[in-house]
């Protein structure tokens, strides 16, 4: 009689188990569920459950590492877009510099003007270049002339601001901004006795204080720009 050969059952194909599934298995074990019950529920060998338990530390470290990487990538993607670079005119830069020189904090100026603090610091670093650029442009494009005051004295109108004679030194006249006393403006202009421009020093800490509407003297300039011995030259 031919004996029937006993055939061994085929091995089950190895089942892929994700990291999340391994974490679920570990959590169930830590909550007191038996490995046999977990193996039955998930259709796994009990030895697989035991192996997962033995490698718990490595599995949790792998999950932590992946989570941190995902969070990092997400934070990079969620970075706020850079603000479009804002144009700042020379006049605005001078205003910022005057505010800084008058003691106002750069953070406060940045907030008021909707700028970054680094922009304010850069403007301060380039103060000399900015003021030279303004001076060059002022000499060629901005109007300057004299008007008679109500007392019959000359008022210098320069860069849309009024200047009174502050003092005379030899053959030079030093003009101070009208708002020197009321607002502490430190802007000064120096001319020769016959009205030739020499230089301007400092900047205004206020809006322009001259318009034809706020000057009740005769509207015709006493001395137009053409009489300033143009082209204007600074010393």
> Which range marks the domain in which residue 104 is found?
90-131
DSSP 19: H
How many domains is the chain partitioned into structurally? 3
One domain for residues 55 and 99: no
Whether 136 maps to a domain, the answer reads no
**What secondary structure does DSSP assign to 48-112, as a single string?**
HHHHHHHTHHHHHHHHHHHHHHHHHHHHHHTPPPPPPPPP--HHHHHHHHHHHHTT--HHHHHHH
Residue 5 domain flag: no
120 shares its domain with 150: no
Task: Return the exposure string of 79-104: e unless at least 16 CB atoms fall within 10 Å of the residue's CB, then b.
Answer: eeeeeeeeeeeeeebbbbbbbbeeee
pTM: 0.35
Do the domain assignments include residue 118? yes
Same domain? 216 vs 157: yes
* pLDDT of the chain, 235 residues: tens digit per residue: 555 555 655 555 667 788 788 888 888 888 888 888 888 888 888 888 888 888 888 888 887 777 766 655 555 555 556 656 778 887 788 889 888 988 989 899 988 888 888 999 999 999 888 887 776 565 444 457 777 777 778 888 888 889 999 998 888 999 999 999 999 999 999 988 887 888 888 888 988 888 665 554 444 444 444 444 333 333 3
Round the CA-based radius of gyration of the chain to a whole number and report it: 41
């Amino acid at each position: 009689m031919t004996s029937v050969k006993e055939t061994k059952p085929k091995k089950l194909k190895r089942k892929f188990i994700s990291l999340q599934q391994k974490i679920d298995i570990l959590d169930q074990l830590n909550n007191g569920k038996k490995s046999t019950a977990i193996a039955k529920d998930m259709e796994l060998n009990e030895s697989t459950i035991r192996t997962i338990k033995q490698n718990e530390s490595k599995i949790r470290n792998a999950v932590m590492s992946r989570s941190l990487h995902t969070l990092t990538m997400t934070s990079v993607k969620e970075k706020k877009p850079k603000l479009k670079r804002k144009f700042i005119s020379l006049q605005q830069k001078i205003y910022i510099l005057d505010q800084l020189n008058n003691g106002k904090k750069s953070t406060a100026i940045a907030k008021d003007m909707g700028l970054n603090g680094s922009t304010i610091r850069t403007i301060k670093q380039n103060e000399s270049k900015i003021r030279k650029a303004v001076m060059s442009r002022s000499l060629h494009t901005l109007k300057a002339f004299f008007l008679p005051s109500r007392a019959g004295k000359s008022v210098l109108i320069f860069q849309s601001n009024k200047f009174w004679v502050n003092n005379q030194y030899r053959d030079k006249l030093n003009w101070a901004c009208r708002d020197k006393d009321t607002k502490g403006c430190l802007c000064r202009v120096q001319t020769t006795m016959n009205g030739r421009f020499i230089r301007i020093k400092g900047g205004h800490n206020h809006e322009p204080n001259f318009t034809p509407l706020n000057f009740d003297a005769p509207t015709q300039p006493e001395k137009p720009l053409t009489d300033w011995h143009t082209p204007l030259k600074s010393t």
